[in-house]
Structure 1
Amino acid sequence: MNGEALAPVRPLVLRPDVDDVGLVLGDAPGGAPVMVGGTTVPAATDIPAGHKVAVRAVAAGQPVRRHGEVIGVALTGIRPGDHVHLHNLGPGQDHPGERGWSAPPAWSPPIAPTRDHFLGYRRPDGRGATRNYIAIVPTVNCSATVARMVAQAAQREHAGVPGLDGVIALAHDLGCGMAEGTPGDGLLRRTLHGYATHPNVVGAVVVSLGCEINQPGNALGDVADTTVTIQDVGGTAAAVRAALAQVAELVAEVRTLRREPVALAELTLGLQSGDGDAWSGITANPAVGVAADLLVAAGGGVILGETPALHGAGHLLRRRAATSGVAVRIEELLAWWREYAAREGAGPHGEPSREDRAGGITTLGEKSLAAVLKAGTAPVEHVVGYADPVTGAGLTLMDTPGHGSVSATGMVAGGATVLASVTGSGSLFGSRPTPCVRISTTTGLYQAMSGDIDFDGGRATARPEHVTHGRLLFEALVDTASGHPTTAEQLGFGAEEITPWRMGAVL
C-alpha cells in the first residue's frame, strides 16, 4: 500500500446488542482495521465483500448469532476481526418442535398500503388476472414437440393481437413411465391442471399422444374437452392443424378483453430466491418482506415456499402460525423433509449450495433466517401442498423444493399471478404465464445486469430503507400486475422454465 493507511472497515451489524458477526461491505485485506464497538482490531485475513467478520469473541462450541438468531456453532475459538465462514463456523442444533401454541400478537403492516387495485383482467368466474396467455398443454413428453410446433405457429399467425401476451407450450418431460396413482403421478396432474386453469390463461389446448399413462381425462378433468390426440387425428401435421383451429377461437375471445381496475385482494404473489448471498438477509429480502406485508394488508395473497431452505427458521414460522393447526402442519412438513432427505442419502445440511457459500452464507440456519425475511411479518394463515390451489388471503406456506424453477412451477400452478425473485449472483428466470420481477441483493449486481434485473434491492441496508424500498417494490409489483413488462418478459424468458416436481420411481 506504499505506506498508506488502510481505511477502517465498518462492518454492517444488524443487531449490535446480540450479533457476534457483521458483514464487510467491500473486500477487506488482512491487517485492515475493523471497527468493533468504539475501537478497531486488525482483520486476521483477507475477507471478501459480503462475508462475515467477527465483532466479538466466541469460544469454541458456543453459538454464533446474526439477525439476532443463532446461525451456527463456533468450530474453533473466534476472535474479533476473524473471517467467519466454513473453516470456523458449523451448523448448530436444529430447533426442536416447540410444545404448545399461542396465538401471535395482533399484526399490522409497517406502513399503510399505497395502492388498493391493479389494472387487470376479470375472468368469468370472478378471478383477477395479470396477463392473457393461451396455453398449449402436452400431457406427456411424447407430445411436447407437437405442442411447441403449435405454439410457434400460433405466435407467428397471431402476433400483434391486442391484449394477447403470447401462446406458450407448457412442455415437460414427464407423463409416462410413471406408476399411476402414486404421489408423483398426482403432483404432475395437479401441476398441469393448475397451469391449464390459471387466471392468466385465457384458454388451453391439450395435446395428447394417445397411449400415455397421463391420460387427459385423469390429468386435466374439466379442460380435457379441448384435447387434440395425435394418434387419433392422424399424426403430427393433422394435430397441429386441429390445435391451431382451437387457438384461433381463443384469440377471437382475447380481442374482446380489456384491462380494468381489480382489487388487490385478487393478486397472489409468489416469493422466490434465485440464488443467495449474505447480502440477501440485509438488503433485498427484508424489502421484499415489506412489499409482501403491504399486499397482505391490502387483502392479497402471498406464497412462501422452498421448504428445505426454511428448515433452520422453522421455529420462527411456527411462532407466526395463525392457528395451532397451522403450527402442526409446519412441523409436519419440516419432519417430512428431514425423513425424505435422509431416505435419499442427503440431509437438511446439504444446503446452502455452492453458490450460496461462495457468496458468504455458511450454514442452513443463516440461509433460512434470510429466506424467511422475504415473507415479512404477517401471520402464516395457510399451509398447502405442492401445486395446491391457493385461495385464501394472507400468507400461505406452500411445500415446494428449494430448486427455484421447481418451486416457482408449484406456485404458478397454485395460482400465483406475479412472482418476485431475489438473486445474489444474477440468476436468470422467467415463468410464463406469470410475470417475474427480478430483484438484486446488491447495487453492483443491478448495475452490471440492469438489462436483466428489474429492481435494485441493494439500496436497502437498514430498517428505514427496507420500508422505503419495500414500498417502492410493492408499487413496482402492482405496476407489473397492471401490464408493465418485466425484463424477463422483454427478453423472452419463461417458455422453457416449467419444471414439475419429479417424485417417485420411473418404471
Structure 2
Amino acid sequence: MKNEVLKIHPKDNVLVALTDLAKGSHVSYEDVEYILQEDIPAKHKFAITNLSEGDSIYMYGVLVGRTTENISQGSLITTNNLVHDTEKYSTDKLSQKFVWKAPDVTKFKDRTFLGYHRANGTVGTENNWLVIPLVFCQNRNVEVLKKALVEKLGFDTQQHSGFNVDSLIEDYKSGASTHDILNKNISLNKDERVKNQLFPNVDAIRFLTHDGGCGGSTDDAIALCHLLAGYINNSNVAGATVLSLGCQHAQASILKQALEKLGFENEKPVYFLEQQDIHTEQELLSEAIKKTFVGLIEANKIERKPAALDKLVIGLECGGSDGFSGISANPVLGHVSDLLVGLGGATILSEFPELNGVEQELINRCQTKESADKFSKIMAVYNEKASLLGGGFSANPSPGNIKDGLITDAIKSAGAAKKGGTSPIEDVLDYTEQVVKPGLNLLCTPGNDVESTTGLAGSGANIILFTTGLGTPTGNPITPVVKVSSNTKLYNKMNDIIDFNTGGVIEGTSTIEETGEQLLNFVIDVASGKLVKARQLEQNDFIPWKRGMSL
C-alpha cells in the first residue's frame, strides 16, 4: 500500500502528507498513530507532537522555523503558526576533512556522449554561434540580424507552429459575437520544415538581448561583460558576433580583457563591431552578416565525436518548487550529481538564497577552509544587502511555493540543497566565475529561475537539470535545460514543457537511485543531440543578474 506520510529525517518533528488527508483521519507512521486535527493537503506538514509557542520545527534534520503559537499534535503547519528561522553557522567548525563514499558508477564508467571537442580540452553538448549586444541600444540590430539570417540559413524551428488566427478574423468579419469567439477552439497550424543542410554541424545561431550595458551601475556593466565572456567561452559555443554602440559602460575592451583572463587565446572566432566607428547602420549590419556567415563556415568544420562523461558540466537548478521537490526531484538530481562526480565530471549547485539554513552542512563539506570562508562571506553579504533593500533570504518563497507546502525559506532551502547530493564541495564561485575543478561547485546566483540558469551557463554548464513541482517553461540560449517534474500529476498535465518525471519516488514505484540512473541516461542522450522540450519550444531565456536585490 502506498504510504500516506513521510518523515524525511529522524530528527524531524513534522510529517509530510503524500496525499490529501482529511480531518479526523487516523494516520500511522513507524507504529505511532496520529489523529489529524484538520485537513492536511498533499505536500504540507503536520506536527507529530504538541508544540508550544517558540518551539523549533525541524525538517531534513535541520531547523526550518519557529512556532508563533501553540500547535497540537496532528495540526497543520502554516504561515500563521510558523516563521522562518535557521541555525547559526561558522567556518570555525570545519575541523576535519569531509569523507565521502562515492556511489557505484560501474554502469557508466565506459559510457560516452557525442559532443563538440574544443581546442582548450572542453567538450560541448551543442555547437552554437552567438550574436551579442554589449548594450540595449543594439537590441534592435540583433533582431534585424535574426530576421535576416535564421530562416534563410535554415535555423528556424523545424516544426514551426502557429495558432490559426485567420479563423477568428473571418468570424469577426461575418459578425460573430464575442461569446462565440471566446468559445471557439483555435486550431494549431504546423508547418513542417526541413533543416537547411548548409551548416549541418551548427545547432543554432543564438541571439541574446538584454536591458543592460549602460545607465545602471558600473559594477553591473562589468559583470555583464564577464558574463558574456563566460558565454563565449562556454564549450557549447563555437564563436560570436559582438555588437557595440561605442559610448556605453560595457565597453568592448572590458569584454576582451575578461576573455583574456579566461585564457581565451583566439581559439574561437569573435568579431567585434562598433556602430559609432562605422558610417551607417546598414554598413554595420552588412558587416555583421558577412562576419557571422564566415564564422558559421568555421563552426561547421567541427563534428560530434565521442567524449567521456567527465567532460559534462551539469548545472543544478530548481524553479516553481513544491512540497515534493525536496523529496523526489531534487534528491534524484543529487544522485545524478554524485554519479557524475564519481566519474570525474563537474556539477554546479547555485541559488544561494535557497541554501539559507543548510550553510553549516555545506561548510562541513568544503574541501578547503578558503572555500568555506568564501561561501560564508558571500552568503552573509548577500543576505545583509538584500535585507537593507527591504527583503532578506526569509522573503524568498513565492506564493506558489507557499501554496504547495514550502512555507519558509529554510524549508525551501533544505529541500533545494538536495540537488547537490552528498559529495565534497571542491570550489566556491562568485557570479560569473568559471568552473575549473571537477566535482561539486557552489555558484552564487539569485533564486530567480532565469537569472540563475543564465549564470549557470555563464560559468560553464553544458547541460542544466531543472526541477519543478508547479511547472515552468524556462530554457537557455546556449545550454540545453532538462525539465524534471517532482510529481506525476504535473508531468501528465504539462508534458509539453517537461522532459522527465520523478513522481515514481513519491508513489513508491521507483527509488531515488534507480530514477537518478534513468535521468543520467537521459542526460547522455541530450548531450549527444536529443532535443529537450525547451529547445523544441525555442525557450531561450537570458537575464543577467543586476546585483541589487534579487532573490
2:159 is the alignment partner of 1:158: no
Mark the runs of 5 or more structure 1 residues left unpaired by the alignment. 1-6
Residues 1:501 and 2:531 aligned together:
no
1:44 pairs with one of 37, 46, 53: 37
Return closer, same or farther for 1:272/1:487 CA change in 2, 3 Å cut-off. Answer: same
Q: How big is the shift at 1:477?
A: 1.4
1:26–1:48 contact (8 Å) kept in structure 2:
yes
Contact 1:21 1:52 in 2 (8 A): yes
Query: Residue 356 of structure 2 aligns to a residue in which SS?
Result: helix
> Do 2:221 and 2:249's aligned partners in 1 also have CA atoms closer than 8 Å?
no
Q: What's the % identity of the aligned pairs?
A: 31
Which residue does the alignment assign to 1:18? 11
Distance 1:463 1:53 in 2: 25
- Could you tell me how far 1:322 is from its partner in structure 2? 0.8
Matched, 1:112 2:150: no
Deviations for 1:345-393, whole angstroms, at most 9, x for unmatched residues? Answer: 2222112222211110122221111111000001111011101111110
The amino acid that maps onto 2:51 is V
SS in 2 for 1:460: helix
The structure 1 residue matched to 2:329, chosen from 284, 293, 303, is 284
Kindly indicate whether the alpha-carbon contact (under 8 Å) linking 2:64 and 2:86 is maintained by their aligned counterparts in 1: no
Shift of 1:312: 1.1
Give a deviation string over 1:20-43, Cα, whole Å, max 9, x none.
212212222322332244354432
Paired residue type of 1:23: V
Contact 1:103 1:323 in 2 (8 A): no
Distance 1:468 1:225, change over 3 A: closer
Superposition deviation, residue 93 in structure 1: 4.2
Q: How far apart, in 2, do the equivalents of 1:314 and 1:41 lie?
A: 33
Matched, 1:63 2:47: no
The equivalent residue for 2:401 is 356
Letter in 2 for 1:233: I
Shift of 1:128: 0.6
Shift of 1:435: 0.3
Q: Matched residues in 1 for 2:32 and 2:443: separation?
A: 46
C-alpha separation between the residues in 1 aligned to 2:277 and 2:15?
65
User: 2:235 aligns to what?
Assistant: 199
Q: Which runs of 5+ in 2 are unaligned?
A: 155-195, 260-265
Deviation at 1:469, TM superposition (A): 0.4
Aligned to 1:84: 77
Match of 1:426 among 458, 471, 475: 471
- Measured against aligned partners, the alpha-carbon deviations of 1:76-132 in whole angstroms (never above 9, x if no partner) come to 222222111212222224323252422344322233153343210111222111101
Task: Give TM-score scaled by structure 2 length.
Answer: 0.85
The count of aligned residue pairs is 494
Contact 1:154 1:247 (C-alpha < 8 Å) held by counterparts: no
SS in 2 for 1:65: strand
1:135 aligns to 2:171 (yes or no): no
Matched, 1:96 2:99: no
Question: How many angstroms apart in 1 are the aligned matches of 2:432 and 2:509?
Answer: 34
**Cα separation, partners in 2 of 1:306 and 1:225, compared to 1, 3 Å:** closer
Structure 2 distance, partners of 1:225, 1:354, is: 43
Q: Kindly state the Cα deviation for residue 486 of structure 1 after the two structures are TM-superposed.
A: 0.4
**Which of 462, 484, 489 in structure 1 is aligned with 2:530?**
484
Aligned to 1:237: 282
SS at match of 2:347: strand
Matches of 1:111 and 1:53, distance apart in 2: 36
Q: Which residue of 2 aligns with 1:124?
A: 119
Aligned AA (1:13)? K
Q: Contact 1:8–1:33 (CA<8 Å) still a contact in 2?
A: no
Which residue identity is paired with 1:277? Answer: D
What's the CA shift for 1:64? Answer: 1.7
CA contact (8 A) 1:114 1:475 kept: no
Q: How does 1:207-218 map to 2 (within 5 A)?
A: 207-218=243-254
The aligned residue for residue 3 of structure 1 is: none
Code of the residue aligned with 1:498 in structure 2: it is F
Task: Give the aligned CA root-mean-square deviation in angstroms.
Answer: 2.2
CA distance in 2, matches of 1:130, 1:271: 16
The alignment's TM-score, normalised by the length of structure 1, stands at 0.92
Sort the Cα spacing of 1:503 and 1:68 in 2 relative to 1 into closer, same or farther, 3 A: closer
1:394 aligns with 2:439: yes
Distance in 1 (CA, whole Å) between partners of 2:65 and 2:106 is 37
CA distance in 2, matches of 1:303, 1:152: 35
Q: Is the 8 A contact 2:396 2:409 kept in 1?
A: yes
Change (3 A) 1:457 1:152: farther
Match of 1:468 among 486, 503, 514: 514
CA distance in 1, matches of 2:68, 2:5: 22
The one of 407, 416, 437 equivalent to 1:371 is 416
Residue 4 of structure 1 is matched in structure 2 by none
Find the aligned partners of 1:427 and 1:289 in 2 and give their Cα distance: 20
Q: What is the SS of the residue equivalent to 1:212? A: coil
> 1:173 is matched with which residue?
211
Q: Compute the displacement of 1:338 (Å).
A: 2.2
Shift of residue 10 of structure 1? 2.5
